[in-house]
Amino acid sequence: MSAIKANNHKEVQVETTERVLLTTGEVAIRLRKSRYWVQCNHMRLGIPSHKIGSEYFFVEPELDAWIETRRVTPINARTVSSDQANRVTLVKKAG
């Protein structure tokens, strides 16, 4: 939010929304991948991007939302019955 003084000298609050653009290199750091990997795979994986000139940029909140949709919960953090947990353990031991 920023304050702007109107003609009658009262401050008017104006809400501004800034969009942070990330470069391919910055996205690579967040995803723990190489810059080349991001360049080659962002369209195939549906990572939201915007092309400006010959470069691709990524809006930070859009990237964060995409990452959240791809997050995988570890099996030990999921709620499973003891029978299901035993089956998973047996499969792991057999494999």
Q: How confident is the model over 2-25, as pLDDT tens digits? A: 555 555 556 656 565 677 899 999
Q: Is the pLDDT of residue 82 over 60?
A: no
User: H-helix or E-strand containing 40?
Assistant: helix 35-45
β-partners of residue 2 are: 14
Residue 90 included in any domain = no
- Provide the CATH number for the domain around residue 33: 1.10.10
Structural domain total, the chain: 1
Distance CA 78, CA 68 (A): 16
What crossing angle do the helices spanning 24-31 and 60-70 adopt, rounded to 10°?
Answer: 30
Kindly report the pTM of this predicted structure: 0.58
Is residue 54 within 8 Å of residue 74, measured between CB atoms?
no
Residue 40 included in any domain = yes
Q: How much is the pLDDT for 95?
A: 47
Q: What is the pLDDT of residues 27-80, one digit of tens each?
A: 999 999 999 999 999 999 999 999 999 999 999 999 999 999 988 877 766 665
Residue 11 included in any domain = no
pLDDT greater at residue 72 or residue 92: 72
Mean pLDDT of 82-94: 53
